[in-house]
Copies of this chain bind each other. A is one copy, B any other.
Amino acid sequence: MSDGSFSGPASGPGKFTSRHLTVVGLGLIGGSMARALRGWAETITGVDMDAHTRDYALSEGIVDYATDDLREGVAEADSVVLATPVRTIMTLVQKRIGAYLRSNTLLIDVGSTKQDICMAMGGLPIGIQAIGGHPMAGKENSGVDASDAALFHGRPFVLCPTRRTTPATRVRALSLAEAVGAVPIEMEAHRHDHLVATISHLPYLLSAALVSTVAQQGKSDEAAWRLAAGGFRDMSRLAGSDISMMTDIFSTNTQAVATLLAHFRVQLAILETLLISRDEAGLAEWLTQARDARNHWAQDYGAGGNTGGKK
């Protein structure tokens, strides 16, 4: 298992180059990948089911060609980025794309969970250079019109090996991550999924459960909604996230999320005990540890993050 160390430019894998790059799924992330790789690829093709999205991407110069035909879109590519929702990535990898790709094509996805996808990639034909990817970046808005070449700047870009990851695959993926301005971090898919359950999927569930709790109270006293202020706004923002994206994530990361919920319940129980027993010194000490941990994070890592949910 990698220690997840940063790969700085000095020790970097060399520059990313592609004669023909194809991005499948031109949403916020796919569109931003295409924009960010503009200077590194001679030709960019976009594959998307939505005609308006294709038109927009063409008219904005995000892609050179656009099609709704996967086979046609990837046939000439030497590098393919899968940027659809997680379960669509699974379907593409398991059922279709292996037969369409040329040998030695770099295939990388940008899905939010990695274990299922990397396992599926392992079943691709030998010769496909497949690797799992997850750039840790987001934005309040979704869709190609929110795409941004700078979305990945300074953000971690997790890379997870598959059975189809050769040394050359790894070098090409590292260079792709650096080309979009991100900081590549290599780790096993299992470790990634546990980490994102911790820092992304659990927070979303807590946000949704909080909103649901307030909604229950709001049924008997509407003033609950009226009095809610900035603290509730922050804590409820993630609950506004895209549901199909989140259910895709949960269906492919159930075990890790359930484990983290169990860990969270332990922490909440400690807190509740300190509160109910009126152990004020213990409560203050516990809350101070949380505050200090949060402030250290904000100082060390918190400056570069994009906002994940909706307003």
Within 8 Å CB of A238, what residues of B?
A: 231, 234-235
Report the nearest B residue to A293, measured CB to CB: B215
Report the nearest B residue to A295, measured CB to CB: B240
26 pairs, CB–CB < 8 Å, chain A vs chain B: A137-B229, A195-B223, A199-B232, A203-B210, A203-B232, A203-B234, A206-B210, A206-B235, A208-B286, A210-B267, A212-B270, A212-B286, A214-B293, A215-B290, A226-B301, A228-B301, A230-B305, A230-B306, A231-B309, A232-B305, A233-B307, A240-B295, A240-B298, A243-B284, A250-B275, A257-B275
Question: Does residue A51 face the partner (Cβ distance < 8 Å to B)?
Answer: no
B234 touches A234 (CB 8 A): yes
Question: Does residue A276 face the partner (Cβ distance < 8 Å to B)?
Answer: yes
Instruction: Say how far A311's CB is from chain B's closest CB, in angstroms.
Output: 7
B293 touches A230 (CB 8 A): no
Q: Interface on A for B, CB 8 Å cutoff?
A: 4, 136-138, 155-156, 158, 185, 187, 191, 194-196, 198-200, 202-218, 221-241, 243-244, 246-247, 250-251, 254, 257-258, 260-261, 263-265, 267-268, 270-272, 275-276, 278, 280, 283-284, 286-291, 293-295, 297-298, 300-302, 305-311
A294 touches B223 (CB 8 A): no
Within 8 Å CB of A232, what residues of B?
A: 199-200, 203, 297, 305
A280 touches B251 (CB 8 A): yes
CA distance A274 to B257 in the complex (A): 12
Q: How many copies does the complex hold?
A: 2
Within 8 Å CB of A137, what residues of B?
A: 229
CA distance A216 to B291 in the complex (A): 14
Instruction: Say how far A264's CB is from chain B's closest CB, in angstroms.
Output: 5
CA distance A73 to B142 in the complex (A): 56
Q: Contact check: which of B138, B251, B265, B268 meets A278 at CB < 8 Å?
A: B251
Given contacts A200-B229, A205-B275, 8 further A-B contacts (CB under 8 A): A199-B224, A200-B232, A207-B290, A208-B286, A209-B268, A214-B293, A225-B300, A246-B287
